[in-house]
Amino acid sequence: MIVCECQNQDIPRISRLYYETVRTVNAKDYSPEQIQAWVPEVFDDDFWKNRWAGCDVFVVEKDQSVLGFAEFRPSGEVDCFYIHHLFQRKGVGTLLMSRIEEEAGRRGVRKLFADVSVTAQPFFRSKGFVSVREHYREYNGQSFRQYDMEKGL
pLDDT in the model for residue 64: 86
pLDDT in the model for residue 76: 97
Q: Average of pLDDT values for 41-65? A: 93
56-88 pLDDT tens trace: 999 999 998 999 999 999 999 999 999 999 999
| CATH top-level class of 2-110 | alpha beta
Share of the chain above pLDDT 70, in %: 100
The chain-wide mean pLDDT, for the chain, equals 95
Displacement of CA 22 from its chain's centroid (Å): 11
Domain positions in the chain:
2-110
pLDDT in the model for residue 13: 94
CA distance 18 to 140: 17
Band (37; pLDDT cuts 50, 70, 90): very high
